Amino acid sequence: MRSTWSTWPLGLIRASVIAKWRAPLRPRARHSVGMAGLRVLTGGALPMADQPLSARVSRGELVREAVYIGGRFAVPAPGDRMFEVRDPGSGAVLGCVPDLDAAASAAAVEAAAAAFGAWRSVPARDKGAALRRWHDLIVANTDDLAVIMTSECGKPLAESKGEVAYAASFVDFFAEEARRVEGSIITPPGSTKRVLTMKQAVGPAAFITPWNFPAAMITRKAAAALAAGCPVVALPAPATPFTALALAQLADEAGLPPGLFNVITSSTARTPEVGRLLTGDARIKKLSFTGSTAVGKLLMAQAHILKSLVATLP
């Protein structure tokens, strides 16, 4: 018997589940506040505007100029195509990340597909424990995550710290929800029938996230997917890849098995072809997108195979 899709943010299990935290924050116009103004807002906490991102944080390993695929950071080889990420307030170059095309991004899909079989069989308690470790590391690294976020998306540091707490709350919630993926018995229409429902992970999920909530939109989607038993492939906005990569570093430190949480990066020019990969690859069973209506329509048009698509549009 086929049951209804769930009401989790990604709808990753085949049953109805009452979920909290579903209302997204309304997207705002991108801040364009100069570093001098940000230093006033934060009491001089931010470094000088000409410093690279790795020099602005206390833990330099949180700043990764690499993609995270299959449980490791793939450092680009000499000659590989990269793109710059700039501070929107000062224009300073924060760093460079790989500019993957569809062929290179396919490795992340392969890693997620390979991890699916083992992860969906992991006991719910162990899934929740892994997410709990990730949550604790996010909270412990709030200051550095906030500096990374402010540096690449321009929001005031106090607001960035608030978003880190908001992002961690999703991981906290789904660490507990992982234990409550339960089936049900339905009253049958006849005395000779018995109707049961079972909740099963649908498979690898992919999501494309916006620049204005670079941490919360990652954890909101990824934590739900992982709790349901689905590995993920994340494609952050080209303007804010370092926040997603810092979350990948913390997921690695939390001991998430290889292939469960993959982060790929692409420039604005190459994002459309990577989007076509995520919508067209049959191994990706669920696609979630938060962003503009125009891009949402494009992704829906590209999803020419049978695939569940969730889009949060303005």
End-to-end CA distance of the chain: 35
Summarize pLDDT for 150-163 with one digit per residue, the tens. 999 999 999 999 99
Q: Provide the mean pLDDT of the chain.
A: 84
CA distance 241 to 33: 19
The residues pairing with 195 across neighbouring beta strands, listed in sequence order, are: 186
Asked if the model's pLDDT at residue 37 lies above 60, the reply is: no
CATH topology of domain 35-312: Aldehyde Dehydrogenase; Chain A, domain 1 (3.40.605)
Q: Predicted confidence band at 257 (pLDDT cuts at 50, 70, 90)?
A: very high
Q: What is the pLDDT of residues 84-124, one digit of tens each?
A: 999 998 899 999 999 999 999 999 999 999 999 999 999 99
Rounded to 5°, the CA angle 111-252-242 comes to 90
pLDDT value for 48? 54
pLDDT higher than 70, residue 27: no
User: Would the pLDDT of 304 be above 50?
Assistant: yes
pLDDT at position 47: 47
Residues 190-232: tens digit of each pLDDT: 888 889 888 889 999 999 999 999 999 999 999 999 999 999 9
**Around Cβ 86, how many Cβ atoms within 10 Å?**
14
Does pLDDT of 39 surpass 60?
Answer: no
- Among residues 23, 49, 24, 21, the alpha carbon closest in space to that of 35 is found at 49
Least confident of 6-15, 212-221, 260-269: 6-15
Name the more confident of 183 and 56: 56
- Of 248, 20, 5, nearest to 138 (Cα)? 248
Sequence ranges of the domains in the chain:
35-312
Closest CA to 274 of 203, 206, 214: 206
Res 184: pLDDT: 85
> Cα separation of 49 and 33, whole Å?
12
CA pair distance 115, 252, nearest whole angstrom: 15
Rounded to the nearest 10 degrees, what angle do helices 241-253 and 216-228 cross at? 40
Please check whether residue 242 is in contact with residue 148, taking contact to mean a CB–CB distance below 8 angstroms: yes
Instruction: Determine the pLDDT at residue 49.
Output: 66
Please determine, for residue 177, whether its predicted confidence score (pLDDT) is greater than 80: yes
Quickly list H helices, the chain.
Answer: 35-41, 102-119, 124-140, 142-153, 157-177, 216-228, 241-253, 271-280, 293-302
- For the chain, percent of residues with pLDDT exceeding 70: 81
Report whether pLDDT(5) > 60. Answer: no
Whether the model pTM is above 0.85: no
- CA 100 vs. chain centroid, Å, equals 17
Query: Are 19 and 7 contacting, i.e. CB atoms less than 8 angstroms apart?
Result: yes
Work out the pLDDT band at 43, boundaries 50, 70, 90.
very low
- Rounded to whole angstroms, how far apart are CA atoms 296 and 40? 38
Q: What is the mean pLDDT of residues 44-52?
A: 62
